[in-house]
Amino acid sequence: MSRSVRIVGIANGRGAGDEGCQRGPDFLRARGLTAHLVGAGVPAQWHATLRASRSLPPLEAIRQLSTLQSQQVSRLLRASQFPLVLGGDHSCGIGTWSGAARALRPRGALGLVWIDAHMDAHVPSTSPTGNLHGMPLACLLGHGDAGLSALAGAPALRPEHLCLVGIRSYEEGEAALLGRLGVRVIHADEVHRRGLPAALDEAVSIATRGTAGFGMSIDLDALDPADAPGVGTPVPGGLRARDLLDAVSGLAGDPRLQALEIAEYNPLHDCGGRTATLAMQVAAAALAPGAAAREQRAA
């Protein structure tokens, strides 16, 4: 990868019911993520770790954190550096993609591929839990909490530039919002039927049609719990690890890819560090041509 990769950890679990994912960035750093990427040929450095306030209520803490995160991501992109954002719970998506949208806006719109078991498109009135990690896409599309949905100065995403992949657990209210907006959702059963490479090709085509570039957000609970147990909200029937590694490896070196986000790693539920290893492999596969094949040969 020609651009320098700057890793931004978002050590926050206040948007989730299980806050163990706040430990994810520190755990991945201690496990050697930066060295792993450098060894794969990625010019990576750890840039910053941002933490949510413990003294504020969750919504105010995440507003504050998302504002700082958005500024960090925007500055990195304007300096021609590549942000690799590590959650933390998936409310981190609000800050990541609001910042990316601001940075890209002089050149055009932002596209986004969202790989997840869940739709993450609730607004407060439809959420059964009130947890903000179930609301980032609604905020990015301009719905929900006004303080979060306005971070990009305007909606960060247009519906026609967003595609969800791997969905298999959702509620009626969020599905209705995405359906009303016309967002393309590729459910897990369709992925299993067509194959992940074909589904991801379609998603990237949507995210790059009429945009200045695109981002990819990967919630590790998109993967089957047999491969990735270290998440807070596991859902059976997910994507398989080898398929994801193969599919994202096709993006390595794509100049249209502007940023990568990996969220919801929860070391408290991991078994022998399997999910941490997989998160590191996914990052390398998406950023370093040939990394996925090399790691699979070494396994």
pTM > 0.85: yes
| Cα-Cα-Cα-Cα dihedral sign, residues 30, 75, 12, 212 | negative
Query: How high does pLDDT run on average in the chain?
Result: 96
Residues 258-267 pLDDT 10s: 999 999 999 9
Q: Can you give the pLDDT at residue 183?
A: 98
Distance, in Å, from the CA atom of 43 to the CA atom of 111, rounded to the nearest integer, reads 24
Neighbours of 221 (CB within 10 A): 29
Question: Tell me, what's the pLDDT at 3?
Answer: 83
Catalytically active residues are: 90, 116, 118, 120, 133, 219, 221, 264
3-state secondary structure of 277: helix
> pLDDT tens digit string along 140-155?
999 999 999 999 999 9
How many other C-beta atoms can be found within 10 angstroms of the C-beta atom of residue 181?
18
For the cut 80, the answer to whether the pLDDT of residue 291 exceeds it is no
Give strand ranges (E) for the chain.
5-11, 44-51, 82-87, 110-115, 162-167, 184-187, 213-219, 257-263
Report the percent of the chain where pLDDT is more than 90.
95
- What torsion, rounded to 10 degrees, do the Cα atoms 132, 17, 183, 288 define? 100
DSSP state of 129: S
| Rounded average pLDDT over 93-114 | 98
Structure tokens of 52?
Answer: 């949510």
User: How wide is the angle at C-alpha 264 spanned by C-alphas 294 and 49, nearest 5°?
Assistant: 85
How far, CA to CA in Å, does 126 sit from each of 13, 138, 151? Answer: 21, 11, 22
Compute CA distances 13 → 25, 29, 54, 62, 98, whole Å. Answer: 11, 17, 11, 10, 19
pLDDT, position 198: 97
Q: For residue 18, is pLDDT > 90?
A: yes
Coil, strand, or helix at residue 130?
coil
Residue 113: beta bridge partners?
A: 163, 216
pLDDT per position as a tens digit, 169-221: 999 999 999 999 999 999 999 999 999 999 999 999 999 999 999 999 999 99
Amino acid at 263: A
C-alpha 276/C-alpha 264 separation (Å) is: 11
Q: Are 261 and 93 in contact (CB under 8 A)?
A: yes
- Assign 101 to helix, strand or coil: helix
Pairing of strands 257-263, 184-187: unpaired
pLDDT at 292 over 80: no
Q: What's residue 290's pLDDT? A: 75
Q: Give CA–CA dist 291/299, Å, rounded.
A: 12
Give the per-residue pLDDT at 241: 97
Mean of pLDDT values over 70-79: 98
What's residue 289's pLDDT?
Answer: 82
The per-residue pLDDT for 294 is 63
**Contact of 110 with 213, CB cutoff 8 Å:** yes
d(CA 80, CA 103): 10
CA distances 93 to 148, 212, 293, Å, are 11, 19, 29
